[in-house]
Amino acid sequence: MSIGFQFDKDWQLHPLEGDTGQAFMGTRSTDKVFIKRNTSPFLAALSKEGITPKLVWTRRTGSGDTITAQEWLDGNVLTSNEVGNRLDVVRILRHVHSSESLKKMLFRVGGEQVSAFDLLCQYAENLPVELKHNLYLTRVFRFLEDHLPEYSTNEYCVCHGDVNHKNWLLSTEDRLYLVDWDSVMFGDPAIDVGTILGRYVPLKEWNTWLKAYGLKPTEDIMARIHWYSIMTQMLQIRRQYHKSYFKNMNQEILLLKKVFAY
């Protein structure tokens, strides 16, 4: 299988199922690493803080690609049920959102600020006709327009941007990592928190989860989290449509209806 870029001939690259041609298992003799091309230079800082698996090396190829290699860890991604029940998920998110060193590094590598309005625009831009004419999705979109949350850009922090259960890797040594940082941004931490709560935590347990995270669930905070839980769900519906995963899209719409009813 063609990998589409030049690389050291001593390494054998094995494309990983479910990725978009960017990630590979790299093997050389008895060595095994996780290889990805053109990932964010922010990865080094994440590795240093133990949030992602250890960064082994970074190389630049003759074709201009940047290749990173991380230690290969045997393990599994978390299930949907596990994400909402593990305290180490809460701890890692809190670490990411409160880390000044990660904030400085993301600024250094040109991280972008993403506001609530920006996310609304991401959904609406070139929206497929089928979604545009869906009466329920239109109703939800109008609600989001009318209830844009306010949050000072001075308070923006590092946000992962895609904390779905497939991006939580649990090693065989029971060490949890948050991986796939291609959507990293500066934003309201409620982007990540809303995704976790909306997708994986029953409403009756939101207060307990937030207290573990370190937040007092005030009316303002709950409104922001509810808004982002809906917004990120709308974006997920759009992604599933573009991939032509219509069964998945309909399941996401069912989840949206549950979250919107909160």
- Give the span between the Cα atoms of 54 and 117, in whole angstroms: 35
CA 128 to chain centre: 23
74, 162, 180, 182: which is the annotated catalytic residue? Answer: 162
What phi, psi does 148 have (nearest 5°)?
-55, 125
Extract the tokens encoding 239.
Answer: 């992604």
Paired strand residues for 187: 157
Judge contact between 260 and 194, C-beta under 8 A.
Answer: no
8 counts as catalytic: no
Q: Give every strand in the sheet of 75-77, ordered side by side.
A: 75-77, 168-171, 176-178
Q: Which residues are catalytic?
A: 162
